[in-house]
């Protein structure tokens, strides 16, 4: 399978409402596309005082409850302006979300890439 870009956000303003990357709405939502995914995020807009929370949600079983599987918090100006997640095998109801938990709005570009 070739590498594909499944979802993108371009110059998306992330505020205090948790934002779904898969649906570009408030989230989390539940995507059931199966595969191996990586999340790329341009965080070059972050300044001192900003905090951005990144979450990955997934269901353990197809009929299960979607829960937080991973969570990261970026604080202030980033020495690397592009943040890249590890690769994840996802299947039953997953989503990546973004939430500004300190500071004002953070503008990001985002890409979810499917590698298998």
Confidence band for 104, pLDDT divided at 50, 70 and 90:
confident
Global pTM reads 0.94
pLDDT computed for residue 30 by the predictor: 95
What CATH number is attached to the domain comprising 13?
2.60.120.1110
Length of the chain in terms of residues written: 116
3-state class percentages of the chain: helix first, strand second, coil last, to nearest 5: 0, 55, 45
| Bridge partner list, 100 | 52
For 110, the domain range is: 4-114
Domain count of the fold of the chain: 1
What's the rounded Cα separation, in Å, for the pair 88 and 58?
A: 10
Does the structure show a pLDDT above 80 at 1? no
Per-residue pLDDT band for 36 (boundaries 50, 70, 90) equals very high
Q: Give the pLDDT score at 11.
A: 96
Residues 6+ apart with CB under 8 A from 84: 38, 39, 40, 41
Two structure tokens written together for 70: 């991973």
Other CB atoms within 10 Å distance of the CB of residue 10: 11
């Amino acid at each position: 399978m070739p590498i594909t870009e499944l979802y993108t956000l371009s110059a998306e303003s992330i505020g205090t409402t948790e934002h779904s990357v898969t649906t570009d709405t408030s989230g989390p939502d539940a995507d059931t596309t199966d595969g191996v995914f990586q999340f790329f995020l341009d965080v070059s807009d972050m300044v001192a005082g900003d905090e951005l929370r990144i979450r990955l949600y997934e269901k353990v079983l197809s009929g299960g409850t979607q829960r937080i599987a991973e969570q990261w918090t970026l604080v202030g100006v980033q020495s690397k302006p592009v943040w890249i997640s590890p690769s994840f095998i996802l299947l039953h109801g997953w989503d990546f979300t973004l939430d500004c938990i300190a500071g004002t709005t953070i503008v990001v570009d985002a890409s979810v890439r499917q590698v298998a």
